[in-house]
A and B are shown apart, each in its own frame.
Chain A
Amino acid sequence: MTTVETAIGTAKTMVLNMGPQHPSTHGVLRVLLELDGENIVNAIPDIGYLHTGIEKSCEDKTYSQAITLTDRMDYLNPLGNNLVYCLAVEKLLGLEVPKRAQYIRVMMVELQRISSHLVWLGTHALDMGAMSVMLYCFREREEILKIFERFAGQRMMTSYIRIGGLAVDPPAGWREMVKRFVDMMPARIDEYEQLLTGNQIWMGRLKGVGYLSPEELIDLSTTGPGLRAAGIPYDNRKMFPYSSYEEFDFDVPTRTESDCFARYLVRVAEMRESVKIVRQAMDKITDDGPIKADAPGIVPPQREKMKTEMEALIYHFKIFTEGFSPPAGEAFVTVESPRGELGCFIASDGSPKPLRVHFRGPSFVNLQALPFMVDGELIADSVACIGTIDIVLGEVDR
């Protein structure tokens, strides 16, 4: 115990180390908590335990090679990471993606959003002491991962979205598979809500915890469900539409309480909206049509063409050896990831490798709000706050 001078006079505080190996920190987050008894006086997040230098590695790869690295940042949202990176490169190139590919992209990232929110809900309920919800959530997430496996051959690190379109055509029977999922999902979301929304313990742990005013949240650059739970309908899909989101009919759920419970309600409502979007996307996706832009030298040619056309073979060789060179310039693109505004900044110097790739990770930026959120709260509430910020350490540290 040490004695320190605080604003209210001399007080005894204790510094408690939480993490990096702590189940409720969702990875390797370390927080130094300064405590006055049971109350938090100050919280200092310490990050970087998972820093892998993805941004530096991108500089040493060609534009198409770097896609596989993006999967590994926010490992609950690999398709969203692929999308923002590809959108940025496509902006540099001035490349237009076929509508069919855009709709499939939308469908995939919305499924990804549901799966990410399911992991969040399951693990957060686990943190709060509700064990069974996790089993329900992971059951449905498994269905989504099976869909991804059929589409891309991979459950998590899909790299399905590529520069100029998609990796492969959707598999046979995809429509039935996705339809079965979207038909099932609304009832399953009701099930989670029955377990949690009216639950006295759940409400007791979350209501009124971690309040921050909307002005403060904007000042701290918080985005995503955290900001929408404070009544600000800021959603990149609506405000700065990309990948044809302007053609979809959906709502942006908001609450005004700005506490942990409101963030929970916003995420659950978002899952329902995502189901709506997936349904609309399914109607828009035609059975035939291109999934890649017609851009020789950038998009790899079809295998059949390579067997008959010399140019196609040359392009194929060039793309996979030296890559392609976008014109010099900078592009900044944002998408709405499950956690908030995911941005990608690419600077090109006209060479086949990017000069600089930077990712604006919503987890990284949102985590700044933690010390303000837990100020004066109980130790147990810090777990609720870390949980509802919904961080993925792979993206925080990159």
Chain B
Amino acid sequence: MTQVAKESAGVVVERLRAWNPNAVSQVIEYRGQTTIVVPHEFLRAIALECKTNPSLQFNMLSDATCVDRFPVEPRFELNYQLVSIPRVQRISLRTSVSGQQPVVDSLMPVWKGANWLEREIFDLFGVRFEGHTDLRRILLPDEFEGAPLRRDFPVEGKR
């Protein structure tokens, strides 16, 4: 079972490389989980390719989240978990953005489900999503200052 999943994860990388040789900058294999690192300027195009390519069919965005690597630059690492229901497969996409300009293309035009997931990242990390139609705070009140899930935000809060 895991063997099959591993082989087909390689297929995804191959297809993406065939589509655009610069699309994949790194492939990380960790405990049977494949993460494809992509340049952030290609993110939306790659996501669209993953969704629409008939041999990939990643029709659902399961999760999107951010990791703050402060003080390493580029500090923000965005992780997208894609699921292909027809092909019973999962894959992770990852892209990095810098702390000076934390802006990345929104995946809302590809999957509507990215809406709240990206709003959550915007709310808690302060990463902006270009092309998001409704980028507002979601969990915290509008008057809240700062992005609490950044590593330089104290756990006990700012007083």
> Bound pair: A and B?
yes
- Chain A residues with CB under 8 Å of chain B are 47-48, 51, 53, 55-57, 59-60, 91-92, 94, 216, 218-223, 232, 234, 239-241, 246, 329-332, 334, 341, 343, 345, 347, 355-356, 358, 360, 364-365, 367-368, 397-398
The complex places the Cα of A241 from the Cα of B5 at a distance, in Å, of 12
With A240-B90, A365-B113 known to touch, is A334 a contact of B62 (CB < 8 Å)? Answer: yes
Q: Which residues of B contact A397 (CB under 8 A)?
A: 139
Chain B 84-104 interface residues, beta-carbon cutoff 8 Å to A: 85, 88, 90, 92
Question: Per-residue 0/1 for B29-54: is the Cβ within 8 Å of any A Cβ (1 yes, 0 no)?
Answer: 01101010000000000000000000
What are 13 A-B residue pairs whose CB atoms fall within 8 Å in the complex? Answer: A48-B138, A218-B59, A219-B59, A221-B111, A221-B113, A240-B88, A330-B92, A332-B79, A345-B63, A345-B79, A360-B63, A368-B113, A368-B116
B6 at interface by CB-CB < 8 Å: no
Complex contact A329–B117 (CB within 8 A): no
B8 at interface by CB-CB < 8 Å: no
CB distance from B81 to the nearest CB of A (A): 6
B20 at interface by CB-CB < 8 Å: no
Complex contact B90–A329 (CB within 8 A): no
CB distance from B69 to the nearest CB of A (A): 8
Complex contact A356–B92 (CB within 8 A): no
Q: Which residues of A contact B155 (CB under 8 A)?
A: 56-57, 59-60
Which of chain B's residues has its CB closest to A215's CB? B59
B149 at interface by CB-CB < 8 Å: yes
- Chain B residues with CB under 8 Å of chain A are 1, 30-31, 33, 35, 59-63, 65-69, 77, 79, 81, 85, 88, 90, 92, 111-117, 120, 124, 137-141, 148-149, 153, 155
The complex places the Cα of A239 from the Cα of B113 at a distance, in Å, of 21
Q: Which residues of B contact A92 (CB under 8 A)?
A: 31
CB distance from A88 to the nearest CB of B (A): 10
Complex contact A330–B35 (CB within 8 A): yes
Q: Which residues of B contact A60 (CB under 8 A)?
A: 155
The DSSP consensus for interface residues of chain A is: mixed
CB distance from B65 to the nearest CB of A (A): 4
Complex contact B1–A246 (CB within 8 A): yes
Complex contact B148–A232 (CB within 8 A): no
The complex places the Cα of A241 from the Cα of B4 at a distance, in Å, of 14
CB distance from A159 to the nearest CB of B (A): 21
Point out the residue from B1, B33, B77, B148 that lies within 8 Å of A332, measured CB to CB.
Answer: B33
The complex places the Cα of A220 from the Cα of B60 at a distance, in Å, of 8
Point out the residue from A55, A331, A334, A343 that lies within 8 Å of B149, measured CB to CB.
Answer: A55
Q: Which 4 A-B pairs have the closest CB atoms?
A: A221-B113, A48-B139, A360-B63, A358-B65
CB distance from A83 to the nearest CB of B (A): 17
Complex contact B117–A365 (CB within 8 A): yes
The complex places the Cα of A91 from the Cα of B85 at a distance, in Å, of 23
